[in-house]
Structure 1
Amino acid sequence: MPSNVPTAFSDLLAACTRSAVHLEMRDSYAVDYEKGSFADWRAGYRHDPDDRTSWWRQWLDLVQETVNRGVVIRRARIVSEPVTEYTRFLYDGTFTNIAAGEQVGWLPRRRASDIALPGNDFWLFDGQVIRWNHFSGDGASLGGEVWEDAPDAAKLCADAFEAVWARAIPHSQYEIH
C-alpha cells in the first residue's frame, strides 16, 4: 500500500503540525556537509553571533518557518563527559539552532543510564512519524528511514525523548566538561 507520508526531511517537517523532536545519542558524527565546518572550527574559526549572514543557512530557514507555523522543535543531545572535540564543535554552533527557534537540551550520559532508549537517533513528528537516522560505527551517515505506522516504536521514541528532556540541561545553562 503506498504511503502518503513524505520521505524527504524538509517535507516531513513541512507536514508537521504540532511538534518535532530530535534525539541525538552519538558523541561524534562524520556528516559530509559538516566536515568543512568542523575542520574550520578545529583551525580556530568561530561564528560571530552578531554577524547572522555569515552563519545563517537553509536548515535554519526551514526551522524558523516551521516554528513560525506554531510547531515546537526540541533537540536533546545525550553526551559523554568529558565531551568529545566534536561535541564541543556542536555546542559552539548551537546558538544558531536557538536563533532559528529550536529548544536544545544536553543530558550527560551518566544521567541517562536508566532511560529506555531506541537503538538509533531519531526525529519524531507529531508523535507519530519517525525518521530514524542511521550511522556507521565511525559516524558516517547511512541515511534515514521513515516509519509511519509503528505506534509502539513511536511511543518508545516519545517516552524516551520526554524522559531525556525532563533531565536535560537547557543549552543556556549547560557547561561543557
Structure 2
Amino acid sequence: MHLELRDSYMLDDPEFLAWQQGKRLDPADRSSWWGGWHDAVSAATARGVVVRRVRIVSEPISDYVRYEYDCTFTNLAAGELVRWLPRRRTTDLALPGADFWVFDGNQALFHHFTGEGQLDEDGREYTDDRARVHLCAKAFEAVWQRAIPHEEYKPR
C-alpha cells in the first residue's frame, strides 16, 4: 500500500522537466520507460502480491500531478493498482501526516519531504511498530474505498 499526499515532488526531476517541455512517454515503446521499479512490481504481482497506490490530490490539479497522471500507465503496466482521491473528499478522514508505504501489514516506510518536495536528508523512516503500521493500513483502506480508479478519474 502506498499513499501519496503531496501535490508535487522533486520539481527538478529531469523527467518532469522534459514533460514540461512537451516530451511524452510512448506506451508502445516500453523499453524507453520500463525500469527496475517496474521489474520489482511486476515480479511481486506475479507472486500474487497486490500493489496498491492512492494519490490524494488538490483540484484543479498541479502540473506535477498532471505529469504523474500522464505517466500512470507505466504503474498499471507493471501490475500496480492506482486510484485518485480529490483532497476535498478527505476532510473527515484521519490520515498520517507523511506519505507512506505499508509492506505485508508488518512494516511501514514514511517518506519525509522538504517544503520544496525533495526527499529530506534523513527522509526514509522505517517502523515495525504495530500500532503505527496498523494506523497506516487502516487509513489507507479508508482512502482506498473512497478513491477513484485511475481508469475512471478525470482530472480537473
Distance 2:16 2:118 in 1: 14
The residue matched to 1:37 in structure 2 has which SS? helix
Give the match for residue 172 of structure 1.
151
Give the match for residue 23 of structure 1.
3
Distance 2:31 2:45 in 1: 20
Distance 1:28 1:99 in 2: 23
The 5-angstrom pairing of residues 1-177 of structure 1 reads 21-30=1-10, 35-142=13-120, 143-148=123-128, 150-177=129-156
TM-score normalised by structure 2 residue count: 0.96
Q: Is the 8 A contact 2:11 2:17 kept in 1?
A: no
AA matched with 2:82: V
1:31 Cα deviation (Å)? 6.8
Distance 2:115 2:155 in 1: 24
TM-score normalised by structure 1 residue count: 0.85
Gaps of 5+ in 1: 1-20
AA matched with 1:46: R
The residue matched to 2:92 in structure 1 has which SS? coil
Gaps of 5+ in 2: none
Q: How many residues end up aligned between the 2 structures?
A: 154
Residues 39 and 108 (structure 1 numbering): CA distance in 2 closer, same or farther, change over 3 Å? same
Q: What is the root-mean-square deviation in Å for CA atoms of aligned residues?
A: 1.0
1:59 Cα deviation (Å)? 0.7
1:69 Cα deviation (Å)? 1.1
The Cα offsets for residues 22-63 of structure 1, whole Å up to 9 and x where unpaired, read as 00000000176xx11001100001111111111111110111
AA matched with 1:99: A
The Cα offsets for residues 95-149 of structure 1, whole Å up to 9 and x where unpaired, read as 000000000000000001111000110000111200111101111101211101x
Distance 2:35 2:133 in 1: 30
AA matched with 1:43: Q
Q: Which moved more, 1:75-84 or 1:50-59?
A: 50-59
Stretches (4+) displaced over 2 A:
none
AA matched with 2:118: A
Q: Is the 8 A contact 1:72 1:102 kept in 2?
A: yes
AA matched with 1:27: D
Distance 1:83 1:54 in 2: 26
